[in-house]
Each structure stands twice: as C-alpha cells, then as structure tokens.
Amino acid sequence: MLARCRRQRQELVCRAGPARRGAWTSSDSRVTAMTASIPRRSGTPPPDSGRGAPLMRAPVMLETEGWSDYALLDSGNGRKLERYGRYRIVRPEEQAIWSPRRPDREWDAADATFVGIGEEDADGRWRYRTPLGETWPLAYDGIRFLGRFTAFRHVGVFPEQATHWEWLKARIATAPRPARVLNLFGYTGLASLVAAQAGAEVTHIDASKKAIGWARENQEASGLRELPIRWICEDAKKFVAREERRGNHYDGIILDPPKFGRGPKGEVWDLFADLPEMMRACRRLLAPEPLFLILTAYSIRASFLSIHELAGECLAGIGGVIESGELVLQEEGGGRALSTSLFSRWWRDG
C-alpha cells in the first residue's frame, strides 16, 4: 500500500545501522529506489515566502537495523522480542499481526515481559524472570545512557530514532556556523546529546520532571557535562510562544510529541488539535537560513500523509526538501520490517 498509494509515488527506502562506521545509508546517499516528488498544492502562506515550495517526497521508509546494544530479535502475535544491552525484553506490538519465527523457548527466556492492560497498556506491568535492577547501561555511538523499566512499557529509548540521529548529526557537523537546536518533547535526551556532541547548542524541553531528571542522568553517564544543553521542564506550547515573543530563533527543531499529554501545571496537549499551530509556530522560530526540522508521531491513527501535507503547508516558501513516511525497525538477520511511527522532516537543499 505504501509503495503504490498513487501511481506517481514510489517507495524510497533508507537503511540505517548505527554502531559500526560506514554502515549508515541516508536519503542523501544510497537508496534502494527512486522517489517521485509530489506537486505542492496551495495552502496557508508562510510568514516569509520567497524561496519557493519545498520538494515533497513520499513515502519514505527509514529503516534501523540495530546496533551493538539493540536488536529487534523477533516479532509476531501482537508482541516483539528485543535485546537492549544485556537484557532481552518482550513488549506488546499490535502491528505485528504475523507469526513469530523464533521458538517459544526464546520468548519464554526473556528477562522482562510487559503485560498490557487497558487502553494503550496504561495499566500494564512488568514481569521479570529474575529480579533486575532499576536501571542498566546502554550505549549508542559513544553516547552512554540508562535503560529503565517504566510503567508505560517504555525503557527510555526509541531505537528507530537512530536514523534521525545520524541524519541530524550530518547536518550539524557540516553546517556553516554553530547550530542552535530546539528539542521539543525531548524525553530522556538522546537526540539532544547526539546534537550537542555533533557541535550544536541545544535547548531541551519536556513537561515531565522525571524525564528531565533522566536526561540529566544520561548526560552524566556519557561524561558529557560540558556540552551546551539547557534542560528545561516546561509546557512545550508555552515555551514556544514565549520564545517567539522574545524574537529567538533556532537553526534546527526536533518535535516528538505524544498523542496526548499534560504539562507541569496541568496544560493539555492533544496532537490532532495542537500540532498544526505548533508547526506554524516552529516555522516562525526557524532562523533565516535554517538547517532542518524533524517531526515524529507515535501511536496515532493517521496516515503519514497527514503530517506530510501539514509540513508542506507550514513550510511553504522555505524551499529545501520535505520527506515523509514511516520509521521502521528491521529484524535481526535481515528479516521482516516493523513500522513503529510516522515522520516528516525538512532540510535545506544545498
């Protein structure tokens, strides 16, 4: 369906596999297929049009194959078996409607299994084969961080984001000036650490004090205390509005919003209601010669075309390239591909 949703669209697959040098393939180098550009339809005019409409590319499948501390081992029957460092973990995965390939004994031998209860597993719990510590060490390309079993089945890292990390590293490292990057809904800070390590000055925003504390722990674990990162616990909408009033601008913006959330003072975030204005505000926060904008959307019932068209509308007149599609995890050994989220990202072309 994705590869041929319209006759003029072809699938673009970009493969990624981080921990070993030379293993990455981005959309700027080798790809497995060509992609057609989608004509830009008229929409809401941008705040400072004049550079022309962005080139629109979709669908694009960004694949992460895993690295030394992560692998998708198997999936099926509504679950996935993953390796995070020294632990093997089983979690729900409703998109894995096929059958597992590995024997039951491998699944049964997992160190931890999350059993979901209720809508989106909000009332689930972890079951451990043997007692485990609260945290355990993980690493990605020189950045060390902590895994942690949370009440919402997450462990502090979304491995499929690795393809974005390598992509933004390349743009920051080759930028003509030191980049200022804003990371909204930044969670445990891995994207912020990647960007700062590449040479950016980063402002990291998250509404959760626990997430900010975890992000600081990750910075300490990496031995990167000297990196220029501001960790701010605040409602993303309020922060963006204040930055706009102050006239501040950023060379790159990362957005990884939840479907629904609450700020530290009870502020409500609803992706479908709030994302359009957030994207327009982020456009206004971009510097006159910006580098990139990355949007990722998890756990929403929508096509990637929803955020693709929104990005095209909000970034009209900025030039460059917008590509949208899905983030995909590749099973170990070149097996099946598991889609995890939708994305849309823009960058300056040339």
**DSSP-assigned states of every residue in 247-266:** T--BSEEEE---SEEE-TTS
For residue 71, being part of any structural domain is answered with no
Q: What percent of the chain has pLDDT over 70?
A: 83
Structure confidence at residue 118 as a pLDDT band (50, 70, 90): low
For residue 5, being part of any structural domain is answered with no
Same domain, 125 and 167: no
Structure confidence at residue 124 as a pLDDT band (50, 70, 90): confident
Q: Are strands 70-76 and 79-84 parallel, antiparallel or unpaired?
A: antiparallel
53 or 286: which leads in pLDDT: 286
Q: If you ran DSSP here, which 8-state letter would residue 233 be given? A: E
Same domain, 212 and 263: yes
Say what the pLDDT of residue 26 is. 37
Whether the per-residue pLDDT at 205 is higher than 80: the answer is yes
Give tens-digit pLDDT for 148-174. 999 889 999 999 999 999 999 999 999
CA distance 259 to 283: 21
Q: What is the mean pLDDT of the segment spanning 207-212?
A: 96
- CATH of residue 191: 3.40.50.150
Structure confidence at residue 120 as a pLDDT band (50, 70, 90): low
- CATH of residue 117: 2.60.40.1180
Q: What is the mean pLDDT of the segment spanning 7-23?
A: 39
Structure confidence at residue 141 as a pLDDT band (50, 70, 90): very high
For residue 84, being part of any structural domain is answered with yes
Whether the per-residue pLDDT at 44 is higher than 60: the answer is no
16 or 21: which leads in pLDDT: 16
CB 47 within 8 A of CB 284: yes
- Where in the sequence is the domain holding 119, given as residue range(s)? 79-137+144-148
Structure confidence at residue 265 as a pLDDT band (50, 70, 90): confident
Q: What is the mean pLDDT of the segment spanning 276-298?
A: 97
Q: Token pair for residue 150?
A: 């949370």
Same domain, 132 and 167: no
Instruction: Select from 118, 148, 178 the last residue of a domain.
Output: 148
Kindly write down the DSSP assignment for every residue of 167-228, as one continuous string. HHHHHHHT-SSPPEEEEET-TTSHHHHHHHHTT-EEEEEES-HHHHHHHHHHHHHHT-TTS-
Say what the pLDDT of residue 168 is. 95
For residue 119, being part of any structural domain is answered with yes
Say what the pLDDT of residue 23 is. 31
For residue 289, being part of any structural domain is answered with yes
Same domain, 59 and 86: no
CA distance 236 to 21: 35
Same domain, 244 and 111: no
Tally of domains within the chain: 2
SS (H, E, C) 1-44: CCCCCCCCCCCEEEEECCCCCCCCCCCCCCCCCCCCECCCCCCC
Whether the per-residue pLDDT at 9 is higher than 80: the answer is no
CA distance 233 to 188: 12
Whether the per-residue pLDDT at 271 is higher than 60: the answer is yes
Same domain, 275 and 232: yes
Q: What is the mean pLDDT of the chain?
A: 86
Q: What percent of the chain has pLDDT over 90?
A: 73
Label residue 336 exposed, middle or buried (CB < 10 Å: 0-12, 13-18, 19+): middle
> What sign results for the dihedral spanned by CA atoms 179, 185, 189, 190?
negative
Structure confidence at residue 48 as a pLDDT band (50, 70, 90): very low
CA 314 distance to own-chain centroid: 20
CB 160 within 8 A of CB 329: yes
Global model pTM greater than 0.95: no
